[in-house]
A and B are shown apart, each in its own frame.
Chain A
């Protein structure tokens, strides 16, 4: 019995490793046709689902704008891919064509929406953490902390609906441009990672020994000086770790962004332009895709998985050791 249970528990633990490896291998396998066809050029190619004459090298098409401009930016323009293909068919009647997929647009969208989210969430999360750890009395701190954590419990699809119907109009009024855009998606993402970032930052700030803080107060330091010169240097690694970890979260967020990014395969020129991210590209196109298109989506999924794996393990191994 003893031996059996020990073996069983060992294999369950190993399952974690197997699943992670399985995800990588499965995605890689499913993405292989696209990897073989487009190679690493996929990452820098801004075209998605575009038919090009077989003789033309792929690089040239990158200068041609995808013809999705006039697609009105409805919540969920699922069908733009068909429009795209049909528009091209008329011009290229007799020439043999092939369909080209490139991942640059969703990649750029993912990175920029995440950066906007970080820029928005970071100062507020730091403020909340300072408030919870240093300013508020204990009972208020746990009450406010609990409420902020509730924000993290709200399903992401709710953030999407609220963001689209209530938050986006305000952002569009303030900054102009479209209601669905990189900016609104980034800001709502920021609200979503706020509680997560604030909680880890607070926890690492709380690890500062009281004796250090008290010594500084005894020397006449103000609260701000204690925070700036004692607490921040002491909990620096934990705070940086929390920021990178939230970044990892924001990279993979799907539903809220799906409502707000506009979902068109087009490089944004301004932050108020609509575009697409990798998770949203997967969510909206998985149903209809087939062949190389499907494989390209798996390629995107693989890129996202590797990115988030890299970011999170980087945060874990370099910054969060102390906190754990």
Chain B
């Protein structure tokens, strides 16, 4: 009898913790929607921060993440291909583990690293520095998705290609990557969603700017960094703007994230 009661209690507690987890999610999202929408206005997309808008910040955030993708995706994919297709034994395994460790490296430390590497020699913060910091965060994520997606491709496909006389890189590009395409793209989308909401690596690499700019050699507007500045501002109008910006940032991140997940689910 006692066993059954304990069983019931534990199961109830487990269910309760799941409810608690969902409650936190709901709490945060509802807060964002209520606070964000109350100060949301379409003019936010037209004006720059200097005129109490967010246009330059949103565009800037995407450009930073886009530049990071241009650097990070090819490097990460090619490295992932090496680990799965070329690498033999020990070395590939070491790189795989190091890449996993790098994935969990504190983002602020990556910011400090890029600061010392790029900002100090050039003398000022720049969009490039921010993109490099984000790219360093992105590379290990792309490596690990490429690696695991390629591992799902059946060995027989590769053997069939080789039996037809194709060279190894032809097999990789025309057969292996083609069949893993959807998975890799999804992984890249999720990696993008992950870095587009990042703040810490940008704080002292790209900083942020009140003005619209496309010049990556100067301080570059960033939505997330500006949220940090605005949210700690004493003026309520700034804080309202911060809530609207947070709402937009979260919607952006969640939409990209959910799109990625939706593609994977449809594929299955």
Considering the chains assembled together, what is the distance between the CA atoms of A29 and B208 in angstroms?
27
User: Known contacts A75-B231, A159-B28; is A124 also within 8 Å of B20 by CB?
Assistant: yes
Within 8 A of A (CB), among B14-32: 14-18, 20-22, 24-25, 27-28, 31-32
Is A1 an interface residue, CB under 8 A from the partner? yes
Considering the chains assembled together, what is the distance between the CA atoms of A170 and B92 in angstroms?
49
- Interface segment among A18-26, A39-47, A60-68: the answer is A18-26
Task: Specify which chain B residues have a CB less than 8 angstroms from the CB of A225 in the assembled complex.
Answer: 3, 7
Is A2 a contact of B113 with CB atoms below 8 Å? Answer: no
Is A224 an interface residue, CB under 8 A from the partner? yes
Is A53 an interface residue, CB under 8 A from the partner? no
Is A103 an interface residue, CB under 8 A from the partner? no
Is B98 a contact of A287 with CB atoms below 8 Å? Answer: no
Considering the chains assembled together, what is the distance between the CA atoms of A75 and B169 in angstroms?
55
Within 8 A of A (CB), among B75-113: 75-76, 78-79, 81-83, 85-87, 92, 94-95, 97-102, 104-113
Considering the chains assembled together, what is the distance between the CA atoms of A275 and B106 in angstroms?
20
- Chief secondary structure at chain A's binding surface: helix
Task: Specify which chain B residues have a CB less than 8 angstroms from the CB of A131 in the assembled complex.
Answer: 14-15, 17-18
**Residue A251 contacts which of B22, B98, B106, B203 (CB distance < 8 angstroms)?**
B106
- Chief secondary structure at chain B's binding surface: helix
Is B257 a contact of A153 with CB atoms below 8 Å? Answer: yes
Q: Which residue on chain A has the smallest CB distance to residue B260? A: A153
Over the window 302-318 of chain A, the binary record of Cβ atoms lying under 8 Å from chain B Cβ atoms (1 yes, 0 no) is 00110011001100110
Q: How far is the CB of B124 from chain A (nearest CB, A)?
A: 12
Task: Specify which chain B residues have a CB less than 8 angstroms from the CB of A75 in the assembled complex.
Answer: 231-232
Task: Specify which chain A residues have a CB less than 8 angstroms from the CB of B257 in the assembled complex.
Answer: 150, 153
Over the window 119-131 of chain A, the binary record of Cβ atoms lying under 8 Å from chain B Cβ atoms (1 yes, 0 no) is 0000111111011
Considering the chains assembled together, what is the distance between the CA atoms of A12 and B140 in angstroms?
11
Instruction: List 30 interface pairs A-B (beta carbons < 8 Å), by A numbering.
Output: A2-B168, A6-B86, A13-B87, A13-B92, A15-B139, A17-B98, A22-B113, A23-B113, A29-B116, A126-B14, A127-B14, A131-B17, A132-B18, A147-B22, A153-B193, A153-B253, A155-B197, A157-B197, A157-B199, A161-B227, A161-B246, A162-B31, A252-B108, A255-B228, A259-B232, A286-B115, A304-B106, A304-B108, A309-B105, A312-B101
- Seen from chain B, the residues whose Cβ lies within 8 Å of a Cβ on chain A are 3-4, 6-7, 10-11, 13-18, 20-22, 24-25, 27-28, 31-32, 75-76, 78-79, 81-83, 85-87, 92, 94-95, 97-102, 104-113, 115-117, 136, 139-140, 143, 167-169, 193-194, 197-200, 203-204, 224, 227-228, 231-232, 242-243, 246, 249-250, 253-254, 257-258, 261
